[in-house]
Structure 1
Amino acid sequence: MKRLNLAKLLSITVISSIFLMSCEDNDDNLDNDTGTGTYLYTSNNANGDITYYNVTDMSDVTTTALLTSSTAADGIYYNPDEDVIVQASRSNFALEAYTNTSMSSSGTSISVSIAGSTDMTSPRELAVNGDFYVVADNADVDGDPDTADGRLYIYENTGSSFTLRNVITTDFKLWGIIFEGDDLYAIVDTTNELAVYTDFLSNTTDAAVSATKTIAIEGLVRTHGLTYDATSDTMILTDIAEATNGQDDGGFHVITNFMTKFSSTTDGGTLALTDQIRVAGSETMLGNPVDVAFDNATETVYIAEAGNNGGRILAFNNIGSGGNIAPVLNYDLASASSVYLVKY
């Protein structure tokens, strides 16, 4: 990335509004049409470094790689107002924040500025609501592989550390999570199901809590990633299909008018495939799509693909009819694990 151009962008943000679009934190989803730049932040499980792409001009994408002390990482988040990147370290078992990263050139080693305690076992996705950072942990809780369970770790960002507030134990295995307002949507791993916890942060003590509602998504085999855009009322879910096939059996589902469709599906019911758009097939390069982000202004879907060719970052912007479509962007990223889209 050209650092001079980014410096100009940062100076603009000091006197203008911040516009965010994210696969993890939808409280900040606003009309992004007036944003001055579009950036995709990514994490991976190959070396734990952070890679971000300037996708403002899809014909002239630039890439910046920042080296971290982690050797594997998952959920990622960027706050442009404070110039802070946060990711969930799978090697250090903690949330780690890096400040003043935008002025670092590609290949720079960056140091942790804000760290959390090492509470987690297998951290995956990260969802942010104000000062609260929630991490889905998909490790077996009770030691019995025949019982499905997981943990949601709730941290508060105090400015100097991520302090663990409480832990929620779930009665299903976890992967992707995302806030919409105060409600937390969660992937039910190893299934085709989507769950929601209404007013999630009102659970302030360590406890086992069941989801408020769970529905199945027809046509999905095994979902992992999710994102919701409030402006367009669009939910997107990824399908890794058979976990043993990481090359060509994956896909993603686009659900427009999502809130109405979700509300009209009964608890334990199924949202019909006819109410969705499915993208899948050999041309897509989707084998194990583990996370997703969406730019509603350009109708572009970004995918962290963990399996195909060892890992890729893919983008699709011709999704209207679904089907077996080729990506418009394709970048190698070994063991890609998470994506976060931001405009500012």
Structure 2
Amino acid sequence: MKKNVIKLGLVLTLGSFVMTSCDKDDDDTVDTEQQDEQVQLFASNNSDGNVTVYDMISGEASTLTTTSTAAEGIYYDENTDEIIQASRSSNQLNAFANISTFLVDATVTASISSSSDLESPRDIAVNDNYIIVADNADVDGNADTPDGRLFIYTRSNGEISLRNVITTDFALWGIEMVGDDLYAVVDKTNELAVFTDFVATNTATTTVSASKRITIEGIVRTHGLAYDNGTMILTDVGDAASDSDGAFHIISDFDSKFSAVANGETMVVADNQIRVAGASTFLGNPVSAEYDADSEMVFIAEAANGGGRILAFSNADAGGDVAPSVNNSLASASSLYFYSNK
């Protein structure tokens, strides 16, 4: 059965979605185009590996039970109506078809799976028919030499096939495609890196340094990131052993601000960033983020506080100790993907 877990506050905040989805024509017939609008938040977790689908219009949620027992990294492809999820228990990518037909809780079976190439997948990003997976397993076995891998898969002819693997000279976690550029958090630091024209440029299995790497002032340890319409969200897990010292930063006009910082230099907080942190936020280890520029809503997968939560902030622009508009329990929440066809 569906569960009413999205609080009314979120639905009201996204009121334009709700109101237009229920409009009628002058003759009192339902506008089918508006009725077909979808606004959804997809979430993975490392507790049972299932997919939770939050419907922002109805205010309900459903659970898609998978064969994974832990999963991190999720993407919804509207063109194929598929969820693509990175399984940490089987170390592969799984694609689940015909997602829009599952209106209630259901058990789903992967229609396509990749080979089991991964060791410790943390996030995925999609660029056309390419699926990129950030893997934070220690590549050389030496903890004193940070490294990670970016697995590049192709999605074609009904298959997900590994094209090549890029080894990085820093540990990885969250990744985000902005156009053809791949942004990656530099795990265990407060840095952000970018690989320009990532898929087209890096076609061989080799080691590659980032095109640019900068420090984000005010952050202790970056983890998740999200970009929409010029705004970047970066999460800060702080001390990973603490469940109460997390935060996230909002960087509007991100492209010009990032360009203005030279390679190896620092983006200062003043005039550049808004920091949200404090006891009221319920942020401890915010491992993933999503952002909807239309509603200015920040979504957070919180892995530690209260055992795991899905948080949504509709009033974060002022910064500081802001209480979330939505606070739902999801054990070991690990990753998010926001989708709207509005």
Query: Under a length normalisation based on structure 2, what TM-score does the superposition of the two structures give?
Result: 0.88
Does 2:286 match 1:289?
A: yes
Does 2:92 match 1:94?
A: yes
Partner of 1:276: 273
Q: In 2, distance between residues paired with 1:159 and 1:338?
A: 27
Say which structure, 1 or 2, has more relative contact order (CA 8 Å, 6+ apart): 1
Q: In 1, distance between residues paired with 2:164 and 2:33?
A: 36
3-state DSSP of counterpart to 2:101 = coil
Does 2:213 match 1:214?
A: yes
Partner of 1:243: 240
Q: In 2, distance between residues paired with 1:50 and 1:225?
A: 18
Q: How many residues align?
A: 311
Contact 1:291-1:304 within 8 A present in 2 as well: yes
Partner of 1:331: 328
Partner of 2:196: 198
Q: In 2, distance between residues paired with 1:234 and 1:151?
A: 26
Partner of 1:53: 54
Q: Given the alignment, which residue of 152, 155, 163 partners 1:154?
A: 152
3-state DSSP of counterpart to 2:99 = coil
Q: Whose Rg is larger?
A: 2
Partner of 1:138: 136
Q: In 2, distance between residues paired with 1:164 and 1:82?
A: 20
After superposition, the C-alpha distances for 1:244-290 in whole angstroms (9 at most, x for unaligned) are 10x21001000011111101101000000111000000000000000
Q: In 2, distance between residues paired with 1:221 and 1:16?
A: 46
Q: In 1, distance between residues paired with 2:227 and 2:148?
A: 22
What displacement does 1:105 show? 4.1
Query: Structure 2: 5+ residue runs without aligned partners?
Result: 4-20, 22-31
What displacement does 1:16 show? 7.5
Correspondence 1:1-344 to 2 at 5 A: 36-56=37-57, 61-201=59-199, 202-229=201-228, 231=229, 233-245=230-242, 247-274=243-270, 275-344=272-341
Q: In 2, distance between residues paired with 1:68 and 1:269?
A: 43
Percent identical: 52
Contact 1:114-1:159 within 8 A present in 2 as well: no
What displacement does 1:159 show? 4.0
Query: Under a length normalisation based on structure 1, what TM-score does the superposition of the two structures give?
Result: 0.88
Q: Which amino acid aligns with 1:218?
A: E
Cα 1:106/1:16, change in 2 over 3 Å: closer
3-state DSSP of counterpart to 1:309 = helix
